[in-house]
A = this chain, B = another copy of it.
Amino acid sequence: MSARRLTLSTIDGIPLVKPGDDVTSLLLDGLLSSGDSLEDGDILVLAQKIFSKAQNRYVSIADVTPSPEAERLAVEVDKDPRIVELILSESNEVVRHRPGVLIVAHRLGYVMANAGIDASNVAEGGEEDERVLLLPVDPDGDCAQVRDEIKARTGVDVAVIMNDSVGRAWRSGTAGIAIGVAGMPAILDLRGDDDLFGRPLKVSIVGIADELAAAASILQGQAAEGAPAVVIRGYSVAGEHSTGQALIRDKDEDLFR
């Protein structure tokens, strides 16, 4: 029996994304220019930042007026109060904070530092033309839209995952997670399946879309390489579809909030 195999490939030829760009067109043009194509069952993993940029989720820091709450919290976390204002406006709840760290529950449920806002480009002195980038408004909807558009334009049935790199409890370093999912099960519920000996499994619910998001993140790189789109081939996406929301643990079942 031959080995099971999974391949991950970057989609090359994607230009820097600008507000108003059509992500699906950029992906299909990139594939065309490199002579690649999609196949039924492929999983397309797309970096959050290209959606945020296409949707013009930039905010100019100079336009932000911090609330008294943001001013107060900014002192405690040692951040620009305007950034803190943006983080709070994108969040439902502050989960933890200390100097240099502000971990919140994003309005869509993800627990992450700084509500996923990319504020690394904001000069500490506060240059007035600096911009930050918020997460997309509706990552699950964006994934469903790309999936539908690819089906309409090419006839190919793919799954789409939007990923971001986030810090984690207990572990050093970031890992990719899925903040949007379409066309596949986001989690695998193996309860009822048996192990090799016909006994119940130790691990019964797998965060499969997070594992796929982490795998793509390896290729996407974090540095100047810039490979926002990865095609994963060889994983069966069979099963009832669910969204990125399925990967969020209910607050009342979460011992770490």
Contact = CB atoms under 8 A, between A and B. Distances in A.
A144 interface: no
A2 B12 CA distance: 7
A199 interface: yes
Interface in A10-24: 10-12, 16
B175 A207 contact: yes
A211 B215 contact: yes
A212 interface: yes
B120 A201 contact: yes
Contacts of A172: 187, 205, 207, 246-249
Contacts of A215: 6, 8, 211, 214-215, 218
A257 B36 CA distance: 47
A153 interface: no
Given A118-B202, A168-B169, A211-B176, A223 B195 contact: yes
Contacts of A176: 211
Given A170-B257, A246-B172, A248-B171, A200 B3 contact: no
A226 interface: yes
A62 interface: no
Contact of A201 (B8, B103, B177, B223): B223
Contacts of A214: 175, 210-211, 214-215
Contacts of A257: 169-170
Contacts of A173: 187-188, 205-208, 210, 247
A34 B211 CA distance: 27
A151 interface: no
Contact of A218 (B9, B98, B170, B212): B212
10 contacts: A1-B12, A3-B36, A118-B202, A121-B197, A169-B249, A169-B257, A171-B249, A173-B210, A195-B223, A211-B218
User: Which 9 A-B pairs give the minimum distances between C-beta atoms?
Assistant: A173-B207, A215-B215, A169-B256, A111-B170, A169-B169, A214-B214, A96-B255, A6-B8, A211-B214
